[in-house]
Structure 1
Amino acid sequence: MYSQVNLFLTGKNAFTRVIVPLFLILICPPFTMLIYHTNVHLDGSFARLGQEIQEKGILREIADVWSPRFYGSVTAWKIIGIFAALQIFLMRALPGRRYYGTITPMGNLPEYTDNGLSSYIVTFALFFTGSLGFGLFRPSLIYDNLGDILGALNLTALAFCLFLYFKGIYFPSSTDNSSTGNFIFDYYWGTELYPRILGCDVKKFTNCRFGMTGWAVSVTSFAFAQKEIYGKADWSIIVSASLIVIYLLKFFLWESGYMRSMDIIVDRGGFMLCWGCMMWVPAVYTSPVMFMVRHPVGLSFAAATAIFVLGLAAILVNYWADHQRQIVRATHGNTKIWGKKPVLIEADYLTETGEKKSNLLLASGFWGISSHFHYLPEISAAFLWSCATGLDYFSPFFYTIFLTVLLTHRAFRDELKCSKKYGVFWQQYRQLVPYKIIPGVI
C-alpha cells in the first residue's frame, strides 16, 4: 500500500526521524489535491499543471486548487459519514469465522472476524439498490463531489491520526505501544501497532473497509459519471473499473492473509498508514479511472476483451500465488504445490519477549521462482487496467509507476526484516530462492 513508498525509518538520526516524516506530512496532502485537479480539470496533463505552477507559483497553485474544497461540503461530509458508519456496522455485525494474525513483538495475538468478502458484497448491493433500484442518489455521486470529498477526507484523516497519537500514549489497546518523544515521528509512524476503538481494529477499518472498499465503489461511480456525461460508458472505463472491482474482490477473498502482511504486522497506526489509506488511496489509486471519465477513446470490443482477459489472468495468478503460501501454512506443509511436496524451511525466531516461535518458509511453486514473484502479476494487472485508454497520456500510468516503486521497495524492506528475524534460516532460504522479484534480474 501507500505506506511502502516511505523509507523504512529504523534510523534514529534527524533525517529519518524528523526531516523525512515532516516532508511527507507537508507534501502528500496538497499533492493528492493536485492529482485530482490534473485528472479532472487539466485533461490529465502534468505539463499543463507545470505551466500553471510556473505562472502562479507552487503555493498559489495549491491554494487555488485546495482552498475551495478545503472544508469539503455538506454533501461530502454526508457521503463520508454514511460510508464510514456502514463499514463499521458491517465490520461488527456480519458473521464470519474467527482467525488470528501474527503474534506481536510483545507477545500479543490479534484476533479478527473473517467477514471482508461479505462486507464487500453487501456494500455493492446497497450501492446499486440505493442508486439504481430506489433512486436515492445518482450512481455518479462520488465523482460529482470528488473534490469536496477529498478535502473533507484530508481533514478527517489528519485529525484521526492526531487522535491515534494521543490514544497510543494514554489509552493503548495493547502492550505493543511506545513513544519516541518526537511528536513529528510519532504522529507519522504511530504510537500503537494494533489500535482498537470500541472493539474495532483500526488498521483493518482504514486499510480494508474504508480504503479498499472505497476504491472499488469510487471507480464504479466514475464509470457511471462517464455514462451521464456522454450518454454511454466507453469500453475502456468499463474494463478498467471491472478489473479493479475483481482485483479487490480477490483482495477480500484473501483478507485474512493480508492481515498477516507487512502493512499490518510492522507498520503502526499513524499518518503513514491511516492517512494513506483514507486519503492517498481515494486520490491516487483511483486516478487511472478518474482520468478516463472525460477521455473516452472508443476502445473496440475486441481490444477491450483482450485487455480484460489478460488483466483477469494477472489477477488470478496473483491470487494463486498468495493461496499457495496460505495453504502451506494452514496445513503445516502437509499439501502439494504443483503436484509435488513443497520445499520448506522451518525457521525459528525469538519474539521481543524472548519466546521461541517458528514459521514455514516456502520455496516451491511461485515462491520458488522468486521470493516476491506475486508482485509481477499485481503490477501487470495495474498496467492493463491503466492502458485501456491508450498510451498517449502519462496520467493513467502514474499509479502503475507508483506501485512498481512501492512493491520493489517493499521487497527490499521485507528482505531486511526477514534476514534480521530468521538469521541463518533466511540465508538457507536465499540459497534456494536467490531472487526477490524477477528471476535473473532482481
Structure 2
Amino acid sequence: MATAEKKTSEVGIELNPKTTKADFNGVPGALGITIGLPILIYVLYYGLDAVPGAKVFDLCALEGYLAWFGGLVALFYIVPGPLVKGTTLRDGTYLNYKMNGLNSFLIVLAVLVARGLITRGELPELVFVADHLLGLITASIGFSFLLAFFVYFKSFGNPKKILAHGGNTGLPIFDWFIGRELNPRIGLFDIKFFCELRPGLFLWAIINFAEAHLQYRKFGYVSDSMILVTIFQFIYIMDSAVVEAKNLTMIDITTDGFGFMLAFGDLALVPFTYTLQARYLATNPVHLGWLGVAGIVALNAIGYYIFRASNSEKDAFRNGDPSVAHLRYIKTKSGSTLLTSGWWGMSRHPNYFGDWLMGLSWCLPTGFNTPITYFYFLYFVILLIHREARDDLKCGNKYGDDWKEYKRLVRWKIVPYVY
C-alpha cells in the first residue's frame, strides 16, 4: 500500500475524507432499520403457516448455518477460478477477485442431486431446511450482527485502508450500520463480494427446493405455480453466478461500505424473504392452468430480456464493443461517458424496470389471498427508487452541469413515459 499512499499524496487528495452527510437520517435511521428489519422477517415468517414445533433458537439450525457458510468459504479457497481486476480505487490501485462462484454453486447442486439419488428422493437436507427454517432465520440474523462487528473493528488500526465515502462519520453506530471499510478482506478473500452472491443467493435456491420438496411430500405433486416460481428464481440466481464478474461494477461493490446493512441484506433478508412465494405455495398450492402459466412466463421473459439486454449493452459500451459504436453519448469533463441512446436513452435505469417485471412475475403465481407473497415486489420498488435517488445525487456531485444535460436528454428515471 505504500504505492497507494504515494499516489494519493501526489495528487493532493485525502484518502479517507470525513463523511459529512449520513444516509437514512443518521443514527436514528440506522437504529430503526437495525431493529425493524429483523422484526419484519419474523413477522413475515409467522404471517404464513408456521412450522409446527419450530424453535426460534435452534442449536441444530445454528450448526447447520455455520456449516453452510463455512463450506462455501472452503469452496472459495479450494475451487479454481480466474482472477479478475476490480474497478480502480480512489488511490489509483485496484483489487483482484477470484471468480469461482459458478463452479462452487454447481458443486453444491451436484451434491444435492447425488444425495437425492442416494436417499431415493428423501433428501434429508431439504427436509432439515424446511423443518428448521425459523432457527435458520435466527442463526443468519445473529451471524449478520457478528460479521458487522467484525468488519467494523477490523477497519481500524491501518490508516492506509480505504474507507467508504458514506461510512466515515465518526458516529460508531452509524458507521457500523452502513459500513466503514470499503473492501474488508482477509488476503484474497473479499468479505463483501463473497457475501453479495454466495451464502444468501445460493441458500435462496436451496430453500425454494426445500419448499417444493415439502409440497410434494404433503400433497404428492408439485403445482405449476411452484414450478414457475422455482424455475424463475433459479434462473435469476444462476444468471448472477454466471456473470459474477459483472457484479464488480455494482454500487454495492464500488461505493458502499460493508456493514450491518449489507451483511443483513445479503445473509438474512435475501434468503428468508425472497423465498416467501415458495414457502406459501408449499402448503397452499395454486393451480394456474396453461393460460395463467403462459401469461406469467411471458411477463417474466419480457422482464428478463430488458434486464439482461440493458446491462449487456452497458457492458459492451464500456468495453468498446463495435456492436454498440453507433450509440450516442455525452463525454463529461471528468472523462466519463454517459449513454443517451439505446436502452439507456429510454431511461436512466432500464435494468431496474426489468427487475420490477421479473419480481411481479414471481409473485403472481401465488394468487391474491395474501399480500405477504408480494413483499419482494413492493420491497424492490422501494429499494430501487431509493437507489436511483442515491445514484442521482452521487452523479450530480461528480458530473455537475454534464449531469444536468444528461437528465435533460434522458428524462425518465426508470420506466419510460411513466417515472
Give the structure-2-normalised TM-score: 0.87
Seen in structure 2, the aligned counterparts of structure 1 residues 80 and 235 have a Cα distance that, compared at 3 Å, is same
Contact in 2 for aligned 1:172/1:195 (Cα 8 Å): no
Counterpart AA for 1:361: L
| Residue 430 (structure 1) aligned with residue 398 (structure 2) | no
Change (3 A) 1:98 1:428: farther
Equivalent in 16, 19, 28 of residue 19 of structure 1: 28
Structure 1 residue matching 2:225: 3-state secondary structure: helix
1:259 and 2:248 matched = yes
CA contact 2:97–2:188 (8 Å) conserved in 1: no
Deviation, structure 1 residue 302:
4.1
The alignment status of 1:72 with 2:40, answered yes or no, reads no
Cα distance in 2, alignment partners of residues 118 and 312 from structure 1: 26
Equivalent residue, structure 2, for 1:39: 48
8 Å contact kept, 1:173–1:195: no
Distance apart, 1:392 and its partner CA: 3.0
Whole-angstrom distance in 2 between the partners of 1:138 and 1:181 = 44
Q: Distance in 2 between matches of 1:14 and 1:324?
A: 31
Superimposed CA distance per residue, residues 226-246 of structure 1 (whole angstroms, 9 cap, x where no aligned partner): 111211111111101110000
Aligned pair in 2 of structure 1 residues 172, 298: CA closer, same or farther (>3 Å)?
farther
Aligned twin of 2:9: none
Aligned partners of 1:126, 1:89: CA distance in 2, in Å? 15
Matching residue within 389, 393, 397 for 1:412: 389
CA distance in 1 between partners of 2:23 and 2:410 (Å)? 36
Question: Residue 408 of structure 1 aligns to which amino acid in structure 2?
Answer: I
Per the alignment, residue 172 of structure 2 pairs with: 183
Select which of 207, 218, 226 maps to 1:237.
226
CA distance 1:13–1:323, shift in 2 (3 Å): closer
- Judge conservation of contact 2:211–2:279 (CA < 8 Å) in 1: yes
Partner of residue 368, structure 2:
391
Letter in 1 for 2:184: P
Q: 1:198: Cα distance to partner?
A: 4.2
Q: Does 1:401 align with 2:378?
A: yes
Name 1:155's counterpart in structure 2: 142
Note the alpha carbon deviations across 1:74-99, whole angstroms, 9 max, x for none.
Answer: 2x123212221232223233333322
5+ unaligned residues in a row in structure 1: which ranges? 1-9, 43-64, 350-357
Q: Which residue of 2 aligns with 1:116?
A: 101
Moved more, 398-407 or 31-40: 31-40
In structure 2, relative to structure 1, the CA distance for the partners of 1:101 and 1:37 (3 Å cut) is same
Secondary structure in structure 1 of the residue aligned to 2:170: coil
Do the aligned residues in 2 keep the contact of 1:226 with 1:294 (CA within 8 Å)?
yes
Question: Relative contact order, CA 8 A, sep 6+: which one is greater?
Answer: 1
Which residue identity does 2:366 align to in structure 1? T
Deviation at 1:11, TM superposition (A): 5.6
Deviation per CA, 1:292-332: give whole Å up to 9, x if none.
2111022224422432343133213211111111111122x
Whole-angstrom distance in 1 between the partners of 2:365 and 2:358: 11
- 1:12 deviates by 4.4
Aligned partners of 2:163 and 2:257 also within 8 Å? no
Cross-structure match for 1:205: 194
Tell me, yes or no, if the aligned pair for 1:173 and 1:194 is still in contact at 8 Å: no
Partner of residue 97, structure 1: 82
Matched, 1:168 2:155: yes
Matched, 1:335 2:312: no
Cα shift at 1:14:
11
Decide which moves more: 110-119 or 382-391.
110-119
The answer as to whether partners of 1:235 and 1:304 remain within 8 angstroms in 2 is: yes
C-alpha displacement at 1:425, in angstroms? 2.8
- Are 1:221 and 2:199 an aligned pair? no
Amino acid at match of 1:295: N
Residue type at the aligned position of 2:137: L
Conserved? CA contact 1:379–1:403, under 8 Å: yes
Q: Any idea what SS the aligned residue of 1:374 has?
A: helix
Q: Among residues 362, 365, 375, which one is paired with 2:352 in the alignment? A: 375
Letter in 1 for 2:400: G
Distance 1:212 1:191, change over 3 A: same
* Structure 2 residue 258 is the aligned partner of structure 1 residue 269: yes
* Equivalent residue, structure 1, for 2:6: none
Q: Which range is displaced more, 80-89 or 174-183? A: 174-183
Is the aligned partner of 1:141 residue 2:111?
no
Check conservation: 1:386, 1:400, Cα contact below 8 A: yes
- Paired residue for 2:268? 279
Q: 1:92 to 1:422 in 2, by over 3 A?
A: farther
